[in-house]
Amino acid sequence: MAATALLGGALAAGTGLGNAGENCTGLDTALRNNLNFIAEQQANPDALSADRIANRQAVVDLIQQRRATAGCTADVRADAPAAPAAPPEAGPGEQPPKAPADPDGDDGAGSDNSGGNGSNSGSSGTGEVVCKGSTVTLFNEDAGPAASSGVFPVGTKLKVTNLDNNKSVTVTVTSPSGSCVLLNNAAFEQVREPGKFVIRRPVVERLGG
């Protein structure tokens, strides 16, 4: 998984452990994932794309520094974008297909998608509140709930609560980034509001590590 590869590569680059192939494989994978995310935001921008791209570019810069330290020489670029699928056309007398209903929509009647480490209890007040004034966004990673941070070391446990819907998730920092805290896809899905890609009223608590 990208998180494991990035973490292993980062530790090896910083300490000299492991061989160069393993280090570069993990770092190259992490770099490609972040470049793909930036390319997707640039191809389909919205009101929050600039902030997300800036956050992810800081991650890219840090990975590039670690690749240089590890002696990685591969030319890593974003994957070619896939052509969007055309929506099916309605036949004569038929209504255009409707988008599926959002089971967790804004009407408050949807289900709670806070499974895993998430909860619907809000901030517990048991940890030290950190990252005050910061928003929380996400980074693309196909892994279990986790976080990256440019402030806290790998292994730190953080609890992130979204005050706009009172959902929270507890995660462990598994990789570095250029932000105080970024949540990966799995963690962000547990606390996000439908259709939103940034948490503007978060409470971040350091629980240990």
For the stretch 164-179, pLDDT in tens is: 999 999 999 999 887 8
Q: What is the pLDDT of residues 89-123, one digit of tens each?
A: 655 665 655 655 444 444 333 333 333 344 444 44
Whole-prediction pTM: 0.44
**pLDDT, tens digit, 9 for 90 and up, residues 38-73:** 888 888 888 888 888 888 898 888 888 888 888 898
Please report the pLDDT score of residue 132 as a whole number: 86
How many Å separate Cα 179 from the centre of its chain?
11
Query: What pLDDT is recorded for position 190?
Result: 92
Q: What is the dihedral of CA 32, 57, 12, 33, to 10 degrees?
A: -20
What integer is the mean pLDDT of 146-154?
88
Q: What is the DSSP letter of 136?
A: B
What value does the mean pLDDT of the chain take?
74
Q: What per-residue confidence (pLDDT) applies to 15?
A: 35
Whole-number pLDDT of residue 187: 92
pLDDT tens-digit readout, 183-195:
998 999 999 998 8
pLDDT band at 151 (very low <50, low <70, confident <90, very high): confident
Q: Is 191 exposed, middle or buried (0-12, 13-18, 19+ CB in 10 A)?
A: buried
- Residue 167 and residue 120 in contact, taking contact as beta carbons nearer than 8 Å: yes
Compute the distance between CA of residue 103 and CA of residue 140 in angstroms, rounded to an integer. Answer: 23
